[in-house]
Chain A
Amino acid sequence: MSTPHQQMFFQHLFGIGQLSKEQIEHLVSMGESFIELSRRPIKKAPTLRGKTVINLFFENSTRTRTSFEIAGKRLSADVINISASTSATSKGETLLDTAETLAAMQPHVLVIRHSIAGTCEFLADFLPHTSIVNAGDGAHEHPTQILTDLLTLKTQASGYEGITMTIVGDIAHSRVARSHLLAAQKLGYKVRVVAPKTLLPSQVEQYGCEVFHNFDEAIPGSDVLYMLRVQTERLTDNCSFPSIREYHEAYGLNRKRLALAGDNCVVMHPGPMNRGVEISSDVADSARSRILDQVEHGVAVRMAVLTALCGTAPEPEKRTPRREKAEAAMQAQGKLL
């Protein structure tokens, strides 16, 4: 039987879409109480002692992987990092076999980043006794980034309820933008999206956001200017915009544009940023920038996520769904196992 605390949380974190408003708020406020831990001289608490966290990253990442690693280690978990280039998938092993192999080593949490949307849900079906955290899957979701941003906003005077967040840039390829659109509906903040038509998904307004093609028009009334990196690695054609310089002219945030914003408007960026493309250096380093706060809060929020997941230990099962299926197939053929 599970306790009220355990019922509050969940075995896997796939995306903002699965979470209730209360669950999001609890994770953010748990994260808030973890900020202080990273500012102590001794940055260690025993919360996750004896737990194992495996970071399995099939895409490049600095801050997400490092912050999961630091979050786990500061809470006394054992953290192992595996990147695609060093994993056996580069020797031809399938994703599922890699994941099953790691799960057989009995980690509590698998943190996965992959370029294909839905990877985590797919794997969760096969790994009944491991918690899976989505650290970004294609253009689908990136829940811990959104929880991070909400924590950064919570530490502002404005909070996040009722604010207007203006997300600028490559909306079409951005899992961060998509997760924010889902979170905004649950938590009651407004989202404006700003992008050239080539970088906007069709019918994005169905998410309840305002759509702008002219950045200058979207700035007044914004509480947050949320800049996105142009994901050149995901742009399959070269015709989304004429040139980097032209993109910066139309959609880059510079001092001149920032002057159009209200006095309390802050600048955020999920990183990594390309200075001189979506954001100019003087804005990135200005007092309005909350970009490094986001990084600090990212560690705290990931501590909260790991703690919540490790607090809901799933029942250990002997057989994996894959084996059950294979056994059923063999039995159907009348063979002994």
Chain B
Amino acid sequence: MADVIYDNAAVNAALDRMAKAIRCHGDSLTLIGIERGGAQVADAIQRRLEEAGCEVERGNMDISFYRDDLDTIGANPEVRPSHMPFDVSGRTVWLVDDVLYTGRTIRAALGEVFDYGRPDCVRLAVLLDRGGRQLPIAPDVAGLMHAADPGCSVKLVTEGDWHIVQRRVRS
């Protein structure tokens, strides 16, 4: 059974807060969404930032080829091409993801960003921080916090009204 831990109103309010927090860093921003959930969150934040008069440049990354678990889980056949229509060198880029857990995705994403160039600064914005980090990685902006049990999967659902669900996958 999947429990709704944050409903649509809570998710929207969190996105508003995130956009506001990111805006404190300037009016000209670069967002990189991590496929797939992160790219959708980045879309939502971009919309809010542009409504507030910010200039936003957008990229998306699929970090499948940067993961460290090819041997254990195999190749992901549903990869999307990364799309980076600007030079990352010399700018501040915001990595955007939906759920932050072990930190391994972000580690892989950092690797990929640096293969595109040498950004001045990389920051991290996540919709939900569920704890359980296995690497020294912390978000600069987190919309929501929820200490989830390691046996649970926490997902952002984007079909229909966005909400976040938690489901027990093992005891």
Interface of A toward B, CB cutoff 8 Å: 2-9, 26-27, 29-30, 32-37, 40-42, 44-48, 75, 304, 307-308, 310-313
Q: Does B152 contact A (CB under 8 A)?
A: no
> Do A310 and B70 form a contact, CB below 8 Å, given A40-B116, A75-B65?
yes
Query: Is A29 a contact partner of B77 (Cβ separation < 8 A)?
Result: yes
Query: Is A26 a contact partner of B77 (Cβ separation < 8 A)?
Result: yes
Q: How far is the CB of A75 from chain B (nearest CB, A)?
A: 7
The distance in angstroms between the C-alpha atoms of A5 and B83, with both chains bound, is 24
A40: B residues at CB distance < 8 A? 84, 115-116
Residue of B nearest to A25 (CB): B77
Residue of B nearest to A47 (CB): B65
Selected contact of B81 from candidates A6, A33, A42, A307, CB within 8 Å = A33
Q: How far is the CB of B63 from chain A (nearest CB, A)?
A: 10
Query: Is B83 a contact partner of A36 (Cβ separation < 8 A)?
Result: yes
The distance in angstroms between the C-alpha atoms of A335 and B112, with both chains bound, is 58
Query: Is B75 a contact partner of A30 (Cβ separation < 8 A)?
Result: yes
Query: Is A41 a contact partner of B117 (Cβ separation < 8 A)?
Result: yes
A30: B residues at CB distance < 8 A? 75, 77, 79
Query: Is B75 a contact partner of A45 (Cβ separation < 8 A)?
Result: no
Residue of A nearest to B63 (CB): A45
Selected contact of A45 from candidates B73, B74, B77, B112, CB within 8 Å = B112
The distance in angstroms between the C-alpha atoms of A281 and B66, with both chains bound, is 42
The distance in angstroms between the C-alpha atoms of A311 and B111, with both chains bound, is 20
Query: Is B81 a contact partner of A45 (Cβ separation < 8 A)?
Result: no
The distance in angstroms between the C-alpha atoms of A2 and B115, with both chains bound, is 31
Within 86-126 of B, Cβ neighbours of A (below 8 Å) are at 111-112, 115-117
Q: List 22 A-B contacts (CB under 8 A).
A: A2-B74, A3-B72, A3-B73, A6-B73, A8-B75, A26-B77, A26-B78, A27-B77, A29-B78, A30-B77, A35-B81, A36-B81, A36-B83, A41-B117, A45-B65, A45-B66, A46-B66, A47-B66, A48-B70, A75-B65, A307-B70, A313-B71
Q: Does B80 contact A (CB under 8 A)?
A: yes
Residue of A nearest to B82 (CB): A36
Q: How far is the CB of B67 from chain A (nearest CB, A)?
A: 8
Query: Is A5 a contact partner of B74 (Cβ separation < 8 A)?
Result: yes
Residue of A nearest to B117 (CB): A41
Q: Does B76 contact A (CB under 8 A)?
A: yes
B117: A residues at CB distance < 8 A? 41-42
Query: Is A33 a contact partner of B73 (Cβ separation < 8 A)?
Result: no
> Do A33 and B62 form a contact, CB below 8 Å, given A47-B70, A311-B74?
yes
